[in-house]
Amino acid sequence: MSGAAGAVGLAVACAAGAVAAEPWHGAAEAGVEYDSNVRRVEDQLGPAPAPMLRAKAAVDARGGSVRGLRWTVALSGGSRAAVAGAIASENAVTGALDTTVARRTSAQLGLTARATHYEVFPLTAELAARAFASSGADVGAVLGDDGRTVTVAVGARRLVYKPDPDFDWTGPALGVALAQPLWRGADERALDLTAGYRLERRGYRGLGYDNGCAPGVMLEVRCFVPGDRPRSDLVQIVSATVGYTGTRAVSLGYELTVDDSTSFGSSFVRHRLSAAVTAPVVARVFATATVTGQLERYADPQLVARDVASQTFASLDDEARSSAALRLGRGFGRRWQAELRWSYHLSALGDPAAAFHRQLVYLGVTWER
């Protein structure tokens, strides 16, 4: 970890030097949050509430004109930690670096090379379920014509899951993104479509599971037997969002994720539908209501513990998570903004063993330049 931290530090120093020399954009946010289920566990596992402190800062700079090359460096870091209470496993610091070099070869075509790194550093020695590092590099082409933009990128991605190296994976990735204006009305009203497709072949470090039980036998923990080949997943994500901007901003999005895994019990299909509306309400306050529905269908049944000691299990074929959120934001001057947000998350389908509830209330400020 010290090596990774050193690399991040070096990158930060280089980026800081670059930022100091070029025009830059910065943003910061901080606030307090009440989280009714900090560890994000099912109801039966005893969700514990805690007041949390959240902070984040980001800076990016862009410049360069040597041989038509332009670069962008974006750095960000943040933290989320419990202010009080016994739960410390979710306390973490995050850091991210995103560098892009772009070259426009013609009015319609641009070429890019991009490298990213994102890492979560747990603040305690406890098992941190959300501690990981994700890195990626790709080269791409951007085609733009009459407002339409198509981006194609090919590269590789690596994920390190700190609590268990068996879940580390590496693999090639292909991404295609489309931004297409659908309609332009009077008074600059607009309807836009953004769509994307992403393909990843994930080669895991750990072995995949086989079903060790005979067909027709009720699934139990003993059925999951490590196989003789490393796990490999083919992940495909298709998404489309239609956004309207007028006197209100409205977006409606759908995302389909298909994970086809060689490991028994790891394949799934996820449907995610989201809608959001933002409108000015009163005294320059903007309100945003967001609703999200998510349905997971598992190719193989999932075992979920029915008790804290994990002695009995329930089998799930599908599962749903939904959420609703309301956010109020108001700007003060050109750079400051105060925001208040409430969100509620629950599982709407499936066995009671998978029942999940979580509530968040956040109050914070943001700054940007």
Question: Within positions 133 to 192, which residues make up the interface with other proteins, using CB under 8 A?
Answer: 134, 136-138, 140, 142, 144-149, 151, 153-155, 157, 159, 161, 164, 167, 173-177, 179, 181, 186-188
Residues 185-224 as x/- pattern, contact with other proteins by CB under 8 A: -xxx-------x-x----------x-----------xx-x
Residues 246-265 as x/- pattern, contact with other proteins by CB under 8 A: -xxx-x-----------xxx
Considering the rule CB under 8 A, would residue 232 count as an interface residue with other proteins?
no
- Binding other proteins (rule: CB under 8 A), the pick from 338, 343, 351, 355 is 343
Considering the rule CB under 8 A, would residue 118 count as an interface residue with other proteins?
yes
Residues 151, 180: contact at Cβ < 8 Å? Answer: no
- Provide the minimum distance between the beta carbon of 178 and other proteins in the complex, in angstroms, as a whole number: 10
Residue among 232 and 290 whose Cβ is closer to other proteins: 290
Residues 308-327 as x/- pattern, contact with other proteins by CB under 8 A: --x--x--x--x-x-x-x-x
Q: Give the total of residues touching other proteins (CB under 8 A).
A: 99
Buried b (16+ CB within 10 A) or exposed e, 315-337: ebeebbbbbebebebbeeeeeeb
Residue among 14 and 316 whose Cβ is closer to other proteins: 316
DSSP secondary structure letter of residue 42: -
Look up tokens 């109020």; give the residue. Answer: 328
Q: Are strands 50-63 and 24-35 parallel, antiparallel or unpaired?
A: antiparallel
Considering the rule CB under 8 A, would residue 85 count as an interface residue with other proteins?
no
- Provide the minimum distance between the beta carbon of 21 and other proteins in the complex, in angstroms, as a whole number: 19
How does DSSP assign 322-369, residue by residue?
EEEEEEEEEEETTTEEEEEEEEEEEE-SS-GGG--EEEEEEEEEEEE-
Considering the rule CB under 8 A, would residue 40 count as an interface residue with other proteins?
yes
Strands (E), the chain: 24-35, 50-63, 69-82, 92-104, 109-122, 132-145, 148-161, 169-184, 190-211, 224-245, 249-261, 268-280, 285-305, 313-332, 336-347, 357-368
- Provide the minimum distance between the beta carbon of 115 and other proteins in the complex, in angstroms, as a whole number: 8
Question: Would you tell me how many other CB atoms lie within 10 Å of the CB of residue 364?
Answer: 18
- Provide the minimum distance between the beta carbon of 263 and other proteins in the complex, in angstroms, as a whole number: 6
Residues 44-83 as x/- pattern, contact with other proteins by CB under 8 A: -x----------------x-------x-x-----------
The residue range among 5-13, 15-23, 81-89, 284-292 that interacts with other proteins, by the rule CB under 8 A, is 284-292
Residue among 2 and 247 whose Cβ is closer to other proteins: 247
Q: How far apart are CA 61 and CA 231, in angstroms?
A: 39
How does DSSP assign 140-200, residue by residue?
EEEEEETTEEEEEEEEEEEEEETT-GGG-EEEEEEEEEEEEEEEE-GGG-EEEEEEEEEEE
Question: Would you tell me how many other CB atoms lie within 10 Å of the CB of residue 162?
Answer: 19
- Binding other proteins (rule: CB under 8 A), the pick from 36, 170, 232, 274 is 274
Residue among 224 and 254 whose Cβ is closer to other proteins: 224
Considering the rule CB under 8 A, would residue 338 count as an interface residue with other proteins?
no
Alpha carbon of residue 214 to chain centroid: 38
